[in-house]
Structure 1
Amino acid sequence: MRKRRIVFLALAILFMLFVIMGRLMQLQLFATEHFSSRNINLIYESVKQRSHEILINDGRGDFLDASGQPLSYEEKTVLVLFPFLKNIDWDKASLAEIMRISESEISSLIEEADKPFIYGQLTSYEAEQVRALNIPGVIAISKEFPSTNNSAAQLLGLTGENKDEFEKRYPDKKGNTSMKIGITGLQESFDPFLIPENPSKLIFHVDGKGAPLFGIDVKLTGENNPFYPLRVKTTIERNIQDRLEQLIDDHNIVNGGALLLNIETNSIIASASRPTINESAPFSDDGTKNKMFEQHIPGSVFKTVVAAGAIEEELIKDDEVFNCSLDIRGEQAERDLGELKLDESFSRSCNLTFAELAKRLQKEDPNMLEKYASELGLIGNISWKKDLFHFENFKQFSHHQGRIFTEESSRKDLNYVGQTGIGQHEVRVSPLHVANMLATIARGGEMNAIKVASEIQYGDGSIMYKFPDIKVKDSKISPSTFMQLQSLLRHVVSDNEGTGRYFQDLPFEIAGKSGTGETGIFKDEEQLHNKWFAGYFPFKSPKYALVVVNLGVPINEGGVNLLFADIVNMIYEESHDAVEASKPIQ
């Protein structure tokens, strides 16, 4: 009996040893990078536990502006101090002299520190002096910081940590789930190219009491490959972008923004959206939403589509006039405009004319309005999209695609059709699409995909991939119709009673269309409106398409004409300065 107990005890001890050995093998060999259901990287956590480190660069790729300058980050030279300095003798006096502070202040800071810290920013001269001291643990180094001026913030987007989404996107990188990924804007769409491999850190190994483990040398670890991280060169012109942002704030746009498109390349020069991002709680409000890429009620801007369809389908007689003293219900209108032909109806924004023409179009074909909205590039995908490396149908950016009708019954109900003809009821389009429509008209029907990135660069500045211009198609609308649309858009400004007459004295000749969309939302018993002006210029040699919008404002407040004019004047100044700068020195 005693022998049996001894054997049983020996087997139990042996079993426990096997369990312990199995557990150790799991920890040391099999699950070191993805331990437990939480996929903990034990190697990383072990190194982290016995090291002091400070992040210099997280290794994530960045965005550049059109000239190749940093757009999403700022590079600063900073002084880094390590806590082990409290345990060694070093030249505090020289550092204090360079930084213009007392030795006691330096000592106090280091005594309180339990991890490396950035003391402050250095000039290039101060950095040279600090490096000349050659003191271990006193480091002058260049570090990247997120941009502080929020330039094109919603367009560029945000990054963040999301373990589940990280593993979904990058199943081969399990264990590195602390890496940030793009969650909105260009950060999300270009994430596969920007995701970091090896962050750059200043690192110093310590024992359990915080004493040096391998001497007092501080090591810089990180990406040694000069080709990484990658950078995305955008089409954003920084000077125009920053001035555009400032003008929007000067005009108190709190919900809306502006978008500027280069008509020749169909690329975004500047895009600003309000409200701004709340840095402390980004998703607590609409700040992360890019209002330039979202769909809104356009009001009379949509009359451009109705005019295109009516002209192309020959539904207007040459001498036909419309009774613009009546509204779309046949009652006395607020503005007694009298009888107007098409060009005057368009420039003075007569609702009855375009409600009537929309009904004629829909009687011809229930899909007619959507057909012409599509042919003008006002709905559907307009982002640059193409197979790129192993990514099928890679899109530079995501956006709302717009709509004309949501209910089948609406396209056949003439009352709803009349409202649709003036950009109301179920019509929703984005400022991006409106800019694209104007660019398509200005080019005479050539439809191109919109770009916001021109190339992907290696870390050394060489080109990995250059995004080509993509011609989507030539619109099926006839050239003569496009010429008439161009004339109508110009007449909005040249007509002394047109809704764009305010822009007659600008340095560029403007063609465009105003819009006031009724939102159906009331505040203090007053309905709120979306105020638009969308135009292109110079009229005879188009280069820019500009859309400004102020969303959800009372009818007698929040006009955008002054803002549009100020942006045009700013662009003229910028283009004039660029011409002057390019002239050879005499």
Structure 2
Amino acid sequence: MAFLYVFLCLLFFILWVRVGYLQIVDADNLTREALALTTKSVKRPERGLIFDADGNKLVGNISKSDIYIDTNILAAAKDSQKEREKLRRLALKTLDMTEAKFDERMKKSGYVLLKNNVERSVALRLKDSDIPGLVVEDFEARTYPNNDLASLVIGFAGKEGDGRYGIEKYYDDALRLAPTFGKKKDSQVPINAGANLKLTISESLQRKVEDVLDSHQEKKHAHRMTAIVQETQTGAIRAMASTDDYDLNHPSRPTTKEQKAVWKDLKDEQRSQILFDNWRNFSVSDTYEPGSTFKTITAAAALEEDTTNPKKHYYCTGYVRDIPGVTITCTSLPNPHGDITMDKAFSESCNVTFVNMGRELKKEGLLKYIRAFGFGEVTGIDLPAEQKGIVPTSTKEINEARLATMSYGHGIAVTPIQMVTAVSAVANGGYLLKPYVVDEIQDVSGNVLVKQGRTVRRQVISETTSETMRTLLTHVVDHGTGTMGAVNRYHVGGKTGTAGKVSDTGGYEKDKYISSFVSVAPIEDPKYTVLVIVEEPEGDYFGGTVAAPIASEIMAAALQEGDVPPTGSDQSKKVKKVIVPDVKNLLLEDAGKVLTDAGLKFNMASENVGDFGMVIQQAPEAGTEVDENTIVDLKIDPNDGKERTVPNFRGKTKQEVEKILESSKLDYVLEGEGTVVSQEPLAGDILPKDAKIHIRFEADVRDKPSDNNADGNNRREAKEKTNKARNKAGSN
């Protein structure tokens, strides 16, 4: 018993000495070893890379770290206060933390996150500091060398390596781990590596498209601009962009000045909603009312069903009045097209003609082709969250009014990817193709596991109809509403569209429009289809003058990059250029004369025009150099309300002024004889209530007796010329 007692005492003495040594003598070394044990790397299969069509890396991987501190270990360490101050200096200097943020984190007990997503070089500096309780967790993160380039297409991945949006989400499984399907027997794919993706998108063309959109965005201050470039014969997407993109390396940051201004004051739910909107790809996940670009579909359907032909005659009165409770107008008013052939109605976008073409197709026929061209169903593009759009599910949902409006692109909702794919089908021989953005799935050695390509969903129209449609599309650009969509040295076909923006509460939003233009080139053997959509542009909002010039620049870039040989002559040397005159505040008759004398045509974008109606907006704007015979879109104010705007009377004779003012029922005072040299109020001013218009005349050579008859004849000829020009003017 005594021997056992002594042995146990000796054993406990030895253990006590050992514990003391560990606690006092070797404490620092053990702390460092503990830190090494808590510093870890999160190892997962390396996520696959993403390359553009030419092999340029768009998405890569990089090592990053999260920095933690165990406050309990730090507090128990030797010289804990000194170590805490050391950590504070490092946090403020290398982690960009504020003192308040640091103190807030250090108040917590236990394992506390100091900073996440820290660059590896910074993490190594912290790790070498040997601060007790400091933990560095390494992980592989995604890096996007081009920041916001093609952000809405590429999407991004989360910290855990999961794809969140875009291609990163759609191909998440393949990017996480190379798929077994399609794998070659001799392919050596590491178990810890994901597959690589090669896109159809060209980095250089994508950058050019984004630059073009940004440039025009600065000019028009639109809500959003969107463009898609598709290979007409394959369905491959060469570029897809919107001006509301975001930085892929920092997806959770606000993107606009408006968002940044209120970001700190927003609740988490509000921030989340804004971020979801930022990340959503409008081209596949949103819908819009296409307007007159949809006439391409109606025309193709009518030609295929043989209910019309390019030389068939229709009659445009300017109105469709036989639908109970509904009046449909043509923007050719106040001088309707009258007798007009189908091909001219297409190039000048006559609404009345297309209503009649829709009626000839009947409900069953029009709905058949709407669905055949892919509207109302997903295209199958390899991007997430694609929408189907809104079209009638059966003929029971189509009344007389909806049949009429659908024929010219109203009363339905489509996605941009549906629209561009449908127009490609119109131009490529009638084949509706599946659009795609990933060309190949490869293993890390470059072996092709999956190869995508041209996939025909169905043939919608015949090659003969397609050939006829290519001709009609060319007429729109050559001498119709789409002349500003032309590309020098190439034959281009296209179609303009202008539609009101649909309100969330029903109906249309006041003074908000969606301008669009779709084009195909070269028309002899189409290579590319380009769609441009401009939402809520400021000022001018016509598709032919807002969207068409943008599409022209983008198409030119696509043709150049694709090394497509020119198919036309150098138009810049043969087409006469003219400067658009300023016709704002002119009466319609005067504006028409000025434009016609300048070698231009004009188009009405107003439904009601009275005798006192005047131009309040024009596009292109005054001073713009355009081709001769370009159509100038005019917005007319009927000027028949309580508040009247004073038109420009300068240069008019006394008899002409008296006639205009008498019909307007305004009070006026006329002084002198001859032609107008001054007026009060000035042109463009609002006439105060009960005020009089004072106009002063001075003798002019036109007032000489010998010239009276000639002057009257000249003015009658000018008026007849203006009326003829109105009849020729196209609508959008």
Common fold by TM > 0.5: yes
1:417 corresponds in structure 2 to 403
Alpha-carbon deviations, 1:35-81, whole Å to 9, x = none? xxxxxxxxxxxx999432567998322321112222134x6799999
Match of 1:228 in 2: 193
User: Does residue 351 in structure 1 map to residue 351 in structure 2?
Assistant: yes
Residue 66 (structure 1) aligned with residue 41 (structure 2): no
Q: Which residue of 2 aligns with 1:138?
A: none
Equivalence for 2:495: 513
State yes or no: 1:465 paired with 2:450: yes
1:500 deviates by 0.8
1:355-504 aligned at under 5 Å gives the runs: 355-362=355-362, 366-383=363-380, 397-405=384-392, 409-411=396-398, 413-425=399-411, 427-475=412-460, 477-495=461-479, 498-504=480-486
Name which of 189, 205, 230 aligns with 1:240.
205
Which residue identity lines up with residue 237 of structure 2 in the other structure? I
Output the CA distance in 2 between the equivalents of 1:408 and 1:554: 38
What are the superposed Cα offsets for residues 508-542 of structure 1, whole Å, 9 maximum, x if unpaired? Answer: 22111111122244999833111110111111121
Count the aligned residue pairs: 439
2:164 is the alignment partner of 1:183: yes
Q: Work out whether 1:574 is the aligned partner of 2:561.
A: yes
Contact 2:65–2:120 (8 Å) recurs in 1: yes
SS at match of 1:151: coil
Q: Corresponding residue for 1:290?
A: 281
Deviation at 1:473, TM superposition (A): 2.8
2:582 maps to what in 1? Answer: none
User: Residue 270 of structure 1: CA displacement?
Assistant: 0.6
- Work out the CA distance in 1 between the residues paired with 2:294 and 2:328: 22
* SS of equivalent to 1:541: coil
Indicate conservation of the 8 Å contact 1:311/1:481, yes or no. Answer: yes
Whether contact under 8 Å (1:299, 1:423) holds in the other structure is yes
Matched, 1:193 2:174: yes
Unaligned runs of 5+ in 2: 1-33, 70-88, 96-101, 103-112, 123-138, 179-188, 254-270, 322-326, 567-732
**Cross-structure match for 1:328:** 320
> Does the Cα contact within 8 Å between 1:377 and 1:440 map onto a contact in 2?
no
Alignment CA distance shift 1:283-1:483 (3 Å): same
CA distance in 1, matches of 2:354, 2:482: 18
Aligned pairs (5 A) from 1:156-167: 156-160=154-158
The 10-residue stretch of structure 1 (292-301 or 251-260) with the greater mean CA deviation from structure 2: 251-260
Secondary structure of 2:552 counterpart: helix
Flag structure 1 segments of 5+ consecutive residues without an equivalent. Answer: 1-46, 84-103, 122-140, 162-178, 198-223, 385-394, 580-586
Instruction: Identify which of 141, 144, 147 aligns with 1:146.
Output: 144
**Equivalent position SS for 1:416:** helix
CA distance 1:396–1:415, change in 2 (3 Å): closer
C-alpha contact (below 8 Å) 2:156/2:168 kept by paired residues:
yes
d(CA) in 1 for partners of 2:558, 2:233: 16
CA distance in structure 2 between the partners assigned to 1:263 and 1:525 by the alignment: 34
Report deviation, 1:262: 1.2
For residues 524 and 355 of structure 1, what CA distance do their matches in structure 2 show?
A: 20
Report % sequence identity: 22
1:541 to 525, 537, 543: 525
Give the secondary-structure state (helix, strand or coil) at the position aligned to 1:323.
strand
CA RMSD of the aligned region, Å?
4.3
Residue aligning to 1:207: none
Equivalent residue number for residue 166 of structure 1 = none
Query: For residues 408 and 512 of structure 1, what CA distance do their matches in structure 2 show?
Result: 30
Deviations along 1:321-354, one digit per CA (max 9) or x if unpaired, are 2233413346764423422110110011100011
**Secondary structure, in 3 states, of the residue corresponding to 1:516?**
strand
Relative to structure 1, is the Cα distance of residues 318 and 225 closer, same or farther in structure 2, using a 3 angstrom cutoff?
A: closer
Does the Cα contact within 8 Å between 1:227 and 1:459 map onto a contact in 2?
no
For residue 311 of structure 1, report the CA deviation from its aligned partner: 1.7
Change (3 A) 1:375 1:416: closer
1:331 and 1:461 mapped to 2: Cα distance?
Answer: 59
Instruction: Tell me the distance in 1 between the aligned counterparts of 2:415 and 2:224.
Output: 14
Larger relative contact order, structure 1 or 2 (CA cutoff 8 Å, min sep 6): 1
Please say if residues 485 and 494 of structure 2, whose CA atoms lie closer than 8 Å, have aligned partners that are also in contact.
no
Partners of 1:300 and 1:422 within 8 A in 2: yes
2:224, 2:316 → 1: CA distance?
Answer: 32
- In 2: Cα distance, 1:524 partner to 1:436 partner: 26
Aligned-partner Cα distance in 1 for 2:383–2:64: 35
For 2:193 and 2:555, how far apart are their aligned partners in 1?
39
- Offset, 1:313: 2.2
Task: Tell me the amino acid that sits aligned with residue 275 of structure 1.
Answer: D
